[in-house]
Amino acid sequence: MKPMSQTKLDEIKSTASAQFKAATSSKSLYDLKVQFLGKSGALTEVMKEMANLPKEEKPLFGKKVNEIKNFLEQVYVEAEEALKKAEMNERLATEELDLTLPAYVRQAGSEHPVYKVIEEIFTIMARLGYSVRTGPLIEKDYYNFEALNIPADHPARDMQDTFFIDQHHVLRTHTSPIQIHSLENEKPPLRIIGTGPVFRCDSDISHLPNFHQIEGMCVDQKVSMADLKGTISFFVREFFGPGLKTRFRPSFFPFTEPSAEVDCSCPICKGKGCSLCKHTGWIEIGGCGLINPKVFYNAKISYPEWQGFAFGFGIERMGIIKYGIDDIRLFPENDVRFVRQFLS
């Protein structure tokens, strides 16, 4: 090896390591690293001289350069550690923290009452062997209406003012399409519960354009109105407690026959009559009935081999009754002062 390059290398080694050790701040240490080991640093410059060396000397020279590079990197790491420690000690000794500044108070959220009600319903229905299903919010016309025995020109479509997406798709107006998805995709016997948002062009003290429903369906070999009443009475008693009065009122739904509506006594006026219950003393929570054979026929389930009942309740309505909330519009507002009252 040419003595010239050798000397230069030794010089870099000793100067750089001495200067690394003598650096007084992380910043100046880093600058030194760039100066000696950087892309256009001293070591790289010497490397360029390798081109002028005779072929047989090149490997030895390259090895030497690498050794020095590794050595200096090691010296750098150690010097850096020592400096960081010293800098930290310096900060600990001199910096003062102002611990008197009041801490930022975090507003703890809580489960929304709608989901609290849903969870409670799931727990009660699970005890009767029901398990949870979901369905899309944008439904094909077929699932929201047609399969549920509500043909295009059926007057029952007026009962539910619908948000149409296009000619064949709607924002689901109820959770009953979940019944059809389950009948099409699963084999009876079935005990399912479906839930989620539903949409209707409707808004006043007791109606929201976007509210939540819970749908129940039982399909088995022999299912009667007595099973339906027994199941709903159990469910309502478990949910509201024994003090609440309920009644079944004959009604009509195209997808159930016979059909009934379920009312609970108004918790605000205790049955005397107020604006929430429209002066009737009762609040309707939803509908129910035995599954219409036409629905089974549409879903290709053989009837009367299989029979069933279904029910659909409004979640917000149930929350209103259970917690004595006097305006349904409080639910979507998401005001923490309202929501936090349901902290459990």
At closest approach, how far in Å is the CB of 323 from ligand PHE?
22
288 near ligand PHE, judged by CB under 6 A: yes
Q: Which of 5, 162, 182, 256 binds ligand PHE (CB under 6 A)?
A: 256
- We find the least distance from the C-beta atom of residue 288 to ligand PHE, in angstroms, to be 5
What is the size of the binding site for ligand PHE (CB under 6 A)? 11
Contact characters 145-164, ligand PHE, x per CB under 6 A: --------------------
- Closest approach of Cβ 131 to ligand PHE, in Å? 18
Binding residue for ligand PHE, selected from 253, 296, 306, 331, defined by CB under 6 A:
253
* Residue 174 interacts with ligand PHE (CB under 6 A): yes or no: yes
Smallest separation, CB 286 to ligand PHE (Å): 5
Query: For every residue of the chain, which 3-state class applies, written as one string?
Result: CCHHHHHHHHHHHHHHHHHHHHCCCHHHHHHHHHHHHCCCCHHHHHHHHHHHCCHHHHHHHHHHHHHHHHHHHHHHHHHHHHHHHHHHHHHHHHCCCCCCCCCCCCCCCCCCHHHHHHHHHHHHHHCCCCEEECCCCEEEHHHHCHHHCCCCCCHHHHHCCCCECCCCEEECCCCCHHHHHHHHHCCCCEEEEEEEEEECCCCECCECCEEEEEEEEEEECCCCHHHHHHHHHHHHHHHHCCCCCEEEEEEEECCEEEEEEEEEECCCCCCCCCCCCCCCCEEEEEEEEEECHHHHHHCCCCCCCCEEEEEEEEHHHHHHHHHCCCCCCHHHHCCHHHHHHHCC
By CB under 6 A, which span of 6-14, 19-27, 285-293, 322-330 interacts with ligand PHE?
285-293
310 interacts with ligand PHE by CB under 6 A: yes
**Residues in the site for ligand PHE, rule: CB under 6 A?**
174, 176, 253, 256, 286-289, 310-312
